[in-house]
Amino acid sequence: MESRIRLNKILLLVMFSLLSLLVLLPFYAIALASFKPGKELIRFGLNLQLDFSIMSLDNYVFLFSGQHDYFTWFANSMLLTILQVALTLITSAAVAYGFTAYDFKGKTPLFICVLMIMMVPFEILLLPLYRLIFNLGMMNTYSAIILPGIASASTIFFFRQYLLGVPREMIAAGRVDGASEYGIFLRLILPVMKPAFAAMGILNAMGSWNNLLWPFMVLSNSNKFTLPIGLKTLLTPYGNNYDLLVVGSFFSIIPIFILFVMFQRYFIDGMTAGAVKG
Amino acid sequence: MIQRFLYSQKAAPYVFVLPFVLVFLVFWLYPLASSVEMSFQKVMLGQSAQWVGFDNYAKLIDDSMFLKAVMNSVIYTVLTLIILIPFPMLFAVLINAKFMWGRELFKSVFFFPALTSVVVAGTIFRLMFGEMEGSLINSFLAMFGVEPVKFLKGHATGFVALLSLAAWRWMGVNILYFLAGLKNIPDDYYEAASIDGASTFQKLRFITIPLLKPTTIYVLTISIYAGMAMFVESLMLWNGNNSPQNIGLTIIGYLYRQGIEKNNLGFAATVGLVLLLVTMIINLTQLALSGLFRKES
């Protein structure tokens, strides 16, 4: 029995180690390519050849000191992600609080609307939304990217689940102490929502940092591009930008990666939030 | 006076939910309604629309390109389900095994790909599945004497690339979903089964899989959504919305082509409504499956 468990243990370890290698392979390939000239990539393809004679830090030097818009895009993405996450979290938290702390007329139908939004893929609304933004004269603005998602249905849903676990006595106690309805939300409720904010903050940040389609449709000026859009424009049939494309792609993973290493638990909480109750 | 009203317990909930109501009306209900309206119109951006009755619908039924897009989306969805449900479930069960080493490490590693954007992941996979003999996958195949494959030029091989990308990005996330589901199964069940002399396989078959049903339905639903609405993966892999013989064309890809590239918004809205109909049917099926109707009535 002992030895059988030991054998199983080793078999599992071998199997999962091999799988991990497979999962890490694309990262390794792009990391390796970031040290090779783009010309090599065009001529020989993305490969695992560890050829030190052609490898150098040239791409990184170009990334940090060359003539290109990469860090404009990087800063734009950073700004947009921070704005989007901050506004979405605070708005969605307020809405979720309204849904959990009060009984009011129209509550159930309104909450069904939240569920409905979650059930329709956003892509279906791409065109009418595009037309609306065009007609409102909001093309090429960050508002057009932030506003449609500011009261995010899935975030509201998650916050509501979380707030259902907060005792209503807390609110009553706040009222006894003479706090206003909004004071209770701001001073009593927001602080206890920290873990929920962390989980949704990370989930939203990841979505925002990586989002391509809607920003791509709305933004047209290169100086407003986000990182995914910018990187996409580097992928030309001529391959003349591959130096920047490869090193830039690799470098763009790093911020999210650092966040992940620091706040792994919240990533997992956020990602699996829907599955536990769903 | 107004301020006192706004601060009353009666008005406060409405103030709190107001942002949602506004966003819902302006950025959800209005676009959805205008989508329905547009499907009966000929619409160009910045010009006034013309009513055309059911023309768009009639055109759509006869449109072989639309059929191709639907087929591609359906095939992609079905294949992702076949890959991205049983395997993550199995891996989750194995990772969850009591005697597993390095559980947390493997969980993190499998999750890494989900951190990448479709743009970056798509770029990497486009290059990995390049047609040169030195490209990663081809150089691997060459070890078995296989001639270089032009992956992105053939239907089946293009799908291999597309599915590899999906499997790579989502395997770890789905494992996490199933691990979360496994946590909800009480240990007592397994202990009781062990006392009754159940084999590992029997435990899997009669305890784990049935009790994971809510998780499985959830993963199934989100996978169908993601599959049917897939577009950016194809856009990145083929570096644009035009793949050879449209092998990578999806429903949303077609919607994008008609609406944005050809400025034919009315027809594109009709395409979107078909997808809406499909997702509604899936939703209702899911609700029925998870027994929500029974509980509420």
Q: Which tops the pLDDT comparison, A94 or B134?
A: A94
Residue A1 banded pLDDT, cuts 50, 70, 90: low
Nearest to A163 by CA among A187, A117, A201, A196: A196
Residues of B within 8 A of A97 (CB-CB) are 16
Indicate whether A241 pLDDT > 90. Answer: no
Name the percent of chain B in helix, strand, coil, to the closest 5. 75, 0, 25
Nearest to B77 by CA among B258, B213, B278, B271: B278
> ipTM value of the model?
0.90
> Quick one: B113 exposed, middle or buried, by C-beta within 10 A (0-12, 13-18, 19+)?
buried
pLDDT in the model for residue B174:
94
pLDDT in the model for residue A146:
96
Nearest to A148 by CA among A211, A227, A214: A214
Domains of chain A by range and CATH? 1-66 (no CATH), 68-277 (1.10.3720.10)
- The pTM for the full model equals 0.91
Cβ under 8 Å to B: A residues 182-221: 182, 185, 206, 209-213, 217
Residues of B within 8 A of A155 (CB-CB) are none
Indicate whether A8 pLDDT > 70. Answer: yes
- Alpha-carbon distance of A94 to B115, in angstroms, equals 28
pLDDT in the model for residue A39:
84
For every residue of A50-91, DSSP letters joined together read --TTT--SHHHHHHHHSSSSHHHHHHHHHHHHHHHHHHHHHH
- Alpha-carbon distance of A219 to A229, in angstroms, equals 9
Q: Which tops the pLDDT comparison, B200 or A138?
A: A138
Contact status of B15 with chain A (Cβ, < 8 Å): yes
Indicate whether A274 pLDDT > 70. Answer: no
Question: Any idea how long chain B is?
Answer: 297
User: Which candidate from B121, B218, B252 shows the least CB-CB separation from A274?
Assistant: B218
Residues of B within 8 A of A24 (CB-CB) are 109, 112
Cβ under 8 Å to A: B residues 178-217: 179-181, 184, 214-215
**What is the full per-residue pLDDT of chain B (297 aa) written as tens digits?**
778 888 888 899 999 999 999 999 999 999 999 999 999 999 988 788 899 999 999 999 999 999 999 999 999 999 999 999 999 999 999 999 877 888 889 999 999 999 999 999 999 999 999 988 889 999 999 999 999 999 999 999 999 999 999 999 999 999 999 999 999 899 899 999 989 988 888 999 999 999 998 899 889 988 998 999 999 999 999 998 999 999 999 999 999 999 999 999 999 999 999 999 988 888 888 778 776 555 543
Give the residue from chain B lying closest to A28, CA to CA. Answer: B124
User: Which candidate from A107, A151, A180 shows the least CB-CB separation from B19?
Assistant: A151
Cβ under 8 Å to B: A residues 59-78: none
Q: Which tops the pLDDT comparison, A49 or B61?
A: B61
Cβ under 8 Å to B: A residues 244-263: 245, 249, 252-253, 256-257, 260
Mean pLDDT of A7-23: 92
- Alpha-carbon distance of B205 to B95, in angstroms, equals 17
pLDDT in the model for residue A239:
66
Contact status of B43 with chain A (Cβ, < 8 Å): yes
pLDDT tens figures, B207-242 = 999 999 889 988 998 899 899 999 999 999 999 899
pLDDT tens figures, B96-121 = 987 788 888 999 999 999 999 999 99
Domains of chain B by range and CATH? 1-42 (no CATH), 56-290 (1.10.3720.10)
| Record: contact A275-B255, CB cut-off 8 A | no
| Record: contact A268-B176, CB cut-off 8 A | yes
Nearest to B126 by CA among A259, A99, A212, A236: A236
Radius of gyration of chain A (CA): 24
